[in-house]
Amino acid sequence: MGRGRSSALAAAVAVVCAVTVLGAPGTAFASAGPAPTPPASASPGASPADSPTAPPSGSPSTPASPPADKDLEAVRAKLDKLYHDAAVATDAYNAAEEKARKQSAEIVDLARKIVKGQQRLDELKDRAGAAARAQYRTGGLPPAAQLVLSDDPQQFLDGAGRVLQGERATRDLLAELSRTQKDLKKYAQDAADRWQRLEANRKAKASAKKKIQQRIKTAEELQSTLEKRQQERLERLEQEAALKAQTAWLDTGVLKEISGKASEAGREAVKYATAQIGKPYEWGAEGPKTYDCSGLTSQAWAAGGHPIPRTSQEQWKQLPHVDVKDMRPGDLIIYFDDASHVAMYVGDGTIVHAPRPGRTVTVAGAGSMPILGVVRPDAG
The tens digit of pLDDT for each residue in 231-277 reads: 888 889 888 999 999 999 999 998 888 888 999 999 999 999 999 99
The answer, as to whether pTM is greater than 0.75, is no
pLDDT of amino acid 70: 65
| 8 Å CB contact between 233 and 69 | yes
Question: Sheet containing 362-365: which strands, arranged edge to edge?
Answer: 321-322, 371-375, 332-335, 341-347, 350-353, 362-365
- Among the listed residues 29, 33, 32, the one whose alpha carbon sits nearest the alpha carbon of residue 19: 29
Has residue 345 got a pLDDT over 60? yes
353 flagged as catalytic: yes
Residue 363: the pLDDT is 96
pLDDT confidence bin for 168, thresholds 50/70/90 = low
Distance, in Å, from the CA atom of 347 to the CA atom of 179, rounded to the nearest integer, reads: 59
pLDDT of residue 133: 64
CA distance 157 to 37: 85
Check whether 87 has a pLDDT greater than 80.
yes
In this prediction, residues 290-317 reach a mean pLDDT of 95
If you average pLDDT over each of 75-89, 152-166, 280-294, which comes out highest?
280-294
CB 33 within 8 A of CB 94: no
Kindly report each contact of residues 42-48 with a partner whose C-beta sits within 8 Å and lies 24 or more positions away, as own/partner.
Answer: 43/210, 43/213, 43/214, 43/217, 46/214
pLDDT at 189 over 90: no
What single-letter amino acid sits at 214?
Q
Confidence grade of residue 161 (pLDDT, cut at 50, 70, 90): low
Catalytic residue, chosen from 17, 306, 321, 353, is: 353
| pLDDT given at position 50 | 41
Of 72, 93, 73, which is closest to residue 295 (Cα–Cα)?
A: 93
State the average pLDDT for the chain: 75
**What is the average pLDDT across 125-145?**
59
Concerning whether 293 is annotated as a catalytic residue, the answer is yes
pLDDT given for residue 84 in this prediction: 86
3-state secondary structure the chain: CCHHHHHHHHHHHHHHHHHHHHCCCCCCCCCCCCCCCCCCCCCCCCCCCCCCCCCCCCCCCCCCCCCCHHHHHHHHHHHHHHHHHHHHHHHHHHHHHHHHHHHHHHHHHHHHHHHHHHHHHHHHHHHHHHHHHHHHHCCCCCHHHHHHCCCCHHHHHHHHHHHHHHHHHHHHHHHHHHHHHHHHHHHHHHHHHHHHHHHHHHHHHHHHHHHHHHHHHHHHHHHHCCCHHHHHHHHHHHHHHHHHHHHHHHCCCHHHHCCCCCCHHHHHHHHHHHHCCCCEECCCCECCCCECHHHHHHHHHHHCCCCCCCCHHHHHHHCCEECHHHCCCCCEEEECCCCCEEEEEEECCEEEECCCCCCECEEEECCCCCEEEEECCCCC
pLDDT for position 265: 95
Q: Specify the pLDDT at position 4.
A: 44
- Write down the catalytic residue from 84, 293, 306, 321: 293
Mean pLDDT over 278-306 rounds to 95
17 classed as catalytic? no
pLDDT reading at 61 higher than 50: no
Average pLDDT over residues 15-41: 39
**What's the confidence (pLDDT) of residue 86?**
83
Backbone angles phi, psi at 286, to 5 degrees: -125, 25
- Which is the catalytic residue, given 84, 306, 321, 341? 341
Q: What is the rounded average pLDDT of the residues 153-165?
A: 52
Residues 6 or more apart whose CB falls under 8 angstroms from that of 98 comprise 309, 310, 311
Q: What is the pLDDT of residue 293?
A: 96
What confidence score (pLDDT) does residue 336 get? Answer: 94
Tell me if 276 sits within 8 A of 362, measured CB to CB: no
pLDDT at residue 75 above 60? yes
